[in-house]
Amino acid sequence: MDRAYEGNETRQLALDLGFILVVSPVKTRIEPWEYDREMYKRRNEVERLFRRLKGYRRIFSRFEKLDVMFIDFISFALIADGLRLC
């Protein structure tokens, strides 16, 4: 869930489905809600990881036909990304 989907109906549906909401409210909201800032930072890290993974063309366009090969290449990309960050 992102700020674009922070309407009352969408928030209530997500809560009814059992999701934990970590999106921050829009600054102009009349009744803002509390949110876990640490969990929101972790969410940002996951989104940035997906952005970096999409940089690998084989993952983005799904060249691999077998699920096993696709998962193996994702593992390879995660290892390469981890080594690049060291």
pTM: 0.58
pLDDT band at residue 82, thresholds of 50, 70 and 90?
A: confident
Residue ranges covered by each domain of the chain:
33-86
Give Cα separations from 77 to 5, 52, 60, 86 (angstroms).
31, 9, 12, 14
Cβ-proximal residues to 24 (8 Å cutoff; 6+ apart), any chain: 3, 35, 37, 40
Q: What percent of the chain has pLDDT over 90?
A: 6
